[in-house]
Amino acid sequence: MSSPLVARTAHRTLDVDGVRVFYRESLPERADAPVLLLLHGFPSASHQFRRLIDVLGTRYRLIAPDYPGFGHTEAPADFTYSFDRLADITEGFIQRLGLTRFVTYVFDFGAPIGFRLAERHPEWIAGLVVQNGNAYTEGLSDGARDFIALRPGTPGAEDTIRDLLTLPGTRGQYETGVTDPELIAPDGWTLDQHFLDLPGRKEAQVALAFDYHSNVERYGEWQAWLRKHTPPTLITWGVNDPFFPRPGAQAYLRDLPDAELHLLDTGHFALEEHLSQIAPLIADFLDRVWS
């Protein structure tokens, strides 16, 4: 019997410290298939990986959780939104699943969460796939630096953040920098905006935006971790990203000179336009790393 062209995917929830974590998991044909943990970005959720899961999930176990404040995950009203807390919940999620070794895909917000996990559990990390997940100051555009500098109480700061949480702001993150907007399905930004408009979600995003400086302050620690542990690394980067431009990708080579780097002529959500290029790179990387 020939293998199916599209993966079977389960959609489940796990309770982690009072948070009902929603996640997608492919059901590969092999029980011992390589594991890829997919850590999504802002303002999206696990649905940003749905096509990648379809393409690779027959051969690999792909697991994509939604963080608190994103997607279908449900957090209590008194949840404190910070990157440390998102990492805490993701750490608990991994432990509840019983994962002990996996390759981590870090994208956008997934990078600060993923690197926190790597610091806490270096033994978990079999390799890294980095897609517009920044860990270097030169990887911040001027606009990103201005945004990160916003602080609570500064006149106009919260309004600036909330402007990004509107439909034009969400759509712009998908379309800015792409070579052909007709290749970008509207489903991603439409679903993102649905979740952003749920009660309490914009407040969660404002809190995370004000906390983003905590990630930049830890860049040096994460770079030291990379130099110490030298994980096998695949970098696929949309060079027209308005937040994290090309130098952020190239900077990884200082600490990981053996990393595999692919620069793509697209924007922030590189998978939307270049899935056909990125998916085979990931498959080849997983086969090499896992063996």
Active site residues: 268
Residue 281 burial (10 A CB sphere; 0-12, 13-18, 19+): middle
CA distance 243 to 172: 12
* Both structure tokens of 55: 């393409």
* Contact indicator for 124, 117 with CB cutoff of 8 Å: yes
Residue 70, both tokens:
């994103």
- Location of structure tokens 């270097």: 136
Going by DSSP bridges, is the β-strand pair 19-26/35-39 parallel, antiparallel, or unpaired?
A: unpaired
Q: What distances in angstroms separate CA 99 from CA 34, 76, 121, 130, one per listed residue?
A: 11, 25, 11, 20
> How far is it, in rounded angstroms, from Cα 198 to Cα 217?
31
Helix (H, G, I), strand (E, B) or coil at 282: helix
Residues 180, 285, 37: CA angle, nearest 5 degrees:
80
C-alpha torsion angle, residues 100, 103, 108, 113 (rounded to 10): 20
Q: How far apart are CA 109 and CA 118, in angstroms?
A: 14
- Amino acid letter at 209? A
